[in-house]
Copies of this chain bind each other. A is one copy, B any other.
Amino acid sequence: MCVLGLGLIGGSLLRAAVAAGRSAWGWNRSGGAVDEARADGFDADTDLQAVLTRANDTGAIVVVAVPEPALDTVLTQVAAHAPDCTLTDVVSVKGSVLDAVRRHGLADRFVGGHPMAGTAHSGWPAGDADLFRGAVWVVAAEDDTDPDRWTQVARLALDCGSVVVPAGAAEHDSAVARISHLPHLLAEALAVTAAAGGDLALALAAGSYRDGTRVAGTAPALVRAMCEANAPALTVALDEAIALLTDARRALATAGSTEALVDAGHAARQRHDTLERWDVTGVEIGAPGWAGALRDAGRRGGAFRAL
């Protein structure tokens, strides 16, 4: 396995792949992370052409783990030097990556991926071979996805200790807008509204404020990068949340009631808390309609714990 980018996610993936017994090496643009990785005993280099040529010669999976702005540069090199490799990524928005991969003519060997894992820290030193253990790893199944390459990428995720959830790029992006990007914007709005109450309000702030604003402590650049890369889906989720709050505001001001929103919110959270993950079985990867069948299973809460 060849991982491009040795930040928190890429660096954790290199460690996890090696821990799982795979032959794995990494590339990073800046030499600092490469030096740190080598000092920790890993195989790393700043020569992108060399690591990609090696990947192509050995039939390795190439994993793109660079920030979104570096995507085009890296994909140009992948197309030039690793034309035969299975290509995947760990970027948090799948539609824009899929578009970029198509522009570079790499769609036939690409399988999008998104491990739902992270910490508040970044860079090689923050990496952890166990970062993906028990996490959900979305492995995208589009109608034109190559089934053998899908299986290769899913096995990599399973080797890292993750549970594989199949989904299409568009429905993945809609889902993460709702459960990851919207929470960040609501937390920012709560933090601003609370602080508008002055130091008295902040002095009284307790558990509900702290939980509700925790992710407002995330570095603005990281929050902006993920929210803005998923603008279309996040706009839809924002519209729904604003409509719910506007209806609640009207009911509170006119009838003194918050019943509709509070009952619906409680029921929705209960749904989450009681949701049981089930194992996808009976779908033969590669049989006619396999990708649609996987997406359907993912939509209903199905996942793979083994393959």
Q: List the interface of chain A (C-beta within 8 A of B).
A: 116-117, 135-136, 138, 165, 167, 171-172, 174-180, 182-209, 211-220, 223-224, 227-228, 231, 234-235, 237-242, 244-246, 248-249, 252-253, 256-259, 261-266, 268-273, 275, 277, 298-301, 303
Contacts and interface: CB of A to CB of B under 8 A. Distances in A.
A275 B204 CA distance: 11
A198 B172 CA distance: 11
Given A189-B245, A231-B253, A252-B235, A240 B196 contact: yes
A213 B299 contact: no
Given A176-B204, A178-B194, A208-B214, 14 more contacts: A174-B197, A185-B248, A185-B258, A185-B262, A186-B186, A186-B245, A189-B244, A191-B264, A193-B237, A195-B271, A220-B263, A231-B256, A238-B248, A241-B245
Q: Is the interface of A mostly helix, strand, loop or mixed?
A: helix
A262 B185 CA distance: 7
Contacts of A203: 136, 165, 275, 277, 298, 301, 303
Contact of A200 (B167, B256, B257, B269): B167
A233 to B, nearest CB: 10
A246 B235 contact: no
B178 A196 contact: yes
A151 B266 CA distance: 41
B183 A212 contact: yes
A161 to B, nearest CB: 15
Contacts of A224: 257-259, 262
Given A186-B190, A188-B262, A238-B248, A204 B116 contact: yes
A179 B198 contact: no
Nearest to A197: B178
Nearest to A165: B203
A299 to B, nearest CB: 5
Contacts of A176: 204
A127 to B, nearest CB: 18
Contacts of A202: 179, 271-272, 275, 301
A206 B116 contact: yes
Nearest to A258: B227
A178 B193 contact: yes
